[in-house]
Every structure is written in C-alpha cells, then in structure tokens.
Amino acid sequence: MTEPLLAIRALSKSFGGIAAADNIELDILPGEIHAVIGPNGAGKTTLINLLSGLLPADAGTVHFNGVNITKSSAPARCRRGLARSFQITSIFRDVSALDNVALAIQAAAGHSFRLWRPARTDPALRDPAFALLEQVGLANRANIRAGNLAHGEQRQLEIAMVLATGPKLLLLDEPMAGMGTEESERLITFLAGLKAKYTMLLIEHDMDAVFALADRITVLVYGRVIATGTPSEIRANTDVRRAYLGEDEAVA
C-alpha cells in the first residue's frame, strides 16, 4: 500500500464542549483528489484550520510526508508544502494581483530579510508570478488592485497564490463558493489539470464538482467521519444518504 502523504490520527477539537472534530482518522494518498463533504457545521473548515495550523488541536496527530507536524505553526506547515485557500477569499486587497502572487513567490523563496533592493522590480519574483497569473487566466488583470477584481477572479488569484508557495498538498476550502456556473466549470477543468502535479484535499458544497473531481470522498457529520470511499461507494452508502442527504424515509 502507498504511504499516505497526509496521515490524520484521532484528531479532535472542541469549542466550549461542542466537538468540531471528533477523533478524525483520515489518510490522503499522494496524487489523489480527496473531497470532504458534509452538512453545514459538520466541521469541514475546522478540519482545514487544524491541518493548516490555524487552530491548535486538542488531541491527535497529523503526519505530513512522514513528519509529525501536529505542533508546527501555520507558516512552518506551508513551507513543508501544505498550502491552503480560504472559504472567504483571503488576499491582499490593497495591492495589485501581481503583487499578491509575487509576495507568495517571495515567501517560498526563503527568508525576506532583504531590506534594500526594491521587491517590485525584482524579476526573480515578478516573472514567475506573472507566469502563474497566466496559468490561472488572470494575466490581463495583473496590474489591477486585487480588491477591485471580480469575485471569481479573486478566487482564481487565491489559487495562484496557493500554487506560488510550491505546495505538495493543496487544502482547498470551497473554491467554487459564490461562483457562477460557467466560472465553476472553468475552475473544475483547471483543478483537474493540476491533478498530475498536486495532491488535493477539497471541501466543496457543489456536488457536481465533487463527483467530477474527487478520487475519494470522506463524509463528515458533527465532526465525525461517517464514511470514506470512492464516489460510487459514497453514493451507495446508506449511512451517508441518511445522515447527510436526509433521506431517512426515502431509503426506508
């Protein structure tokens, strides 16, 4: 069996007595797109926050590439190759799209204790950043202030930033949220194209996207994993249908 890229063991987190992550066990295999689905409040975003280091876990361990990162800080995890997007777009709104990606490139290029040379004219940052913008289809918007981009463009920009950090595993928190059908479809194609290079953990409400992209799916309800399997296995799983799709009567 393949060594998992990300191994989650007995991961727990609660807020004031309410378990948002309850003893989660999950393996993400190299090269797969693994979707996590579940109803609102199931703890999906909490899971990503725990994995990216934004929240400290109460218990359990996370191993990435064989290394225990349970106690690592968010920046340290990112530098190991664990990059994330946010459910609510998180970009630097006051500067241009290109500046955003250049900053992510800079972050990946080692320490930033360089206090003299102007960063905005540094080809070592600008060129790869521009290339990434081209890749996500924002090249013609490079010099627009990020806060002025359309919503969908901002989401694309965030993905460009995620890619700029040179990740091995992408943690994508509802990348299609708030997008129109056409935009979503383009993003699905784009993510599918990335599949060869990156492993992905995808949280998504858009079931079409999930079933189109995912190799495996995990279903989370009240912070607990109730099923993991291929899309067809999940589709057939009665627990899932009952707990998640709310089809108690229909199945019975």
Partner 1 sequence: MTQTSKSQRPQNLWARLRDSRTSVSLLLLAIAAATPLAAPALGQSFYVDVIARIMIWAIAATSLNLILGYGGMVSFGHAVYLGIGAYAMGIMATEGITNGFIQWPLALLLCGFFALIFGAISLRTKGVYFIMITLAFGQMLFFLGISVERYGSDDGLLIFTRSEFDLGFAELDLSNGTTLYYVIWASLIGCIYLSHRIVNSRFGMVLRGAMSNETRMQAIGVPTYRYRLAAFVIAGMMAGLAGLLSANFERFISPDMMNWPRSGELIVMIVLGGMGTLFGPVLGSVAFLMLSELLSTWTEKWHLIFGPFLILVVLFARGGLAGMLERLNPRSDP
Pick from 73, 181, 189, 232: which binds partner 1 (CB under 8 A)? 73
Helix (H, G, I), strand (E, B) or coil at 224: strand
Q: Which residues contact 24 (CB under 8 A, 6 or more apart)?
A: 8, 10, 11, 12, 47, 60, 220, 223, 224, 225
Name which of residues 40 to 69 contact partner 1 (CB under 8 A).
52-54
Q: Is the torsion defined by CA of 164, 168, 171, 175 positive or negative? A: positive
| Contact set for partner 1, span 113-152 (CB under 8 A) | 113-123, 125-127, 129-130, 139-140, 142-143
Q: Is 108 in the site for partner 1 (CB under 8 A)?
A: yes
Q: Check binding of 7 to partner 1 (CB under 8 A).
A: no
Under rule CB under 8 A, residue 79 binds partner 1 = yes
Residue 100 is given by DSSP the state H
247 scored as a contact of partner 1 (CB under 8 A): no
What gap in Å lies between CA 42 and CA 58, rounded to an integer? 17
Task: Output the smallest distance, CB 87 to partner 1, in A.
Answer: 12
CA-wise closest residue to 54 among 99, 28, 20? 20
Contacting range for partner 1; rule: CB under 8 A; set: 16-24, 100-108, 182-190, 222-230? 100-108
Estimate to the nearest angstrom the gap between the alpha carbon of 70 and the chain centroid.
18
Interface with partner 1 (CB under 8 A), residue total 50
Query: Which of residues 14, 23, 61, 165 is near partner 1 by CB under 8 A?
Result: 165
Q: Give per-residue burial for 150-185: e unless 16+ CB within 10 Å, then b.
A: eebbbbbbbbbbbbbbbbbbbbbbbbbbebeeebbe
> In angstroms, what is the minimal distance from the CB of 139 to partner 1?
6
Q: List interacting residues with partner 1 (CB under 8 A).
A: 52-54, 73-76, 78-79, 83-84, 86, 90-95, 98-99, 102-104, 106-108, 112-123, 125-127, 129-130, 139-140, 142-143, 161, 164-165
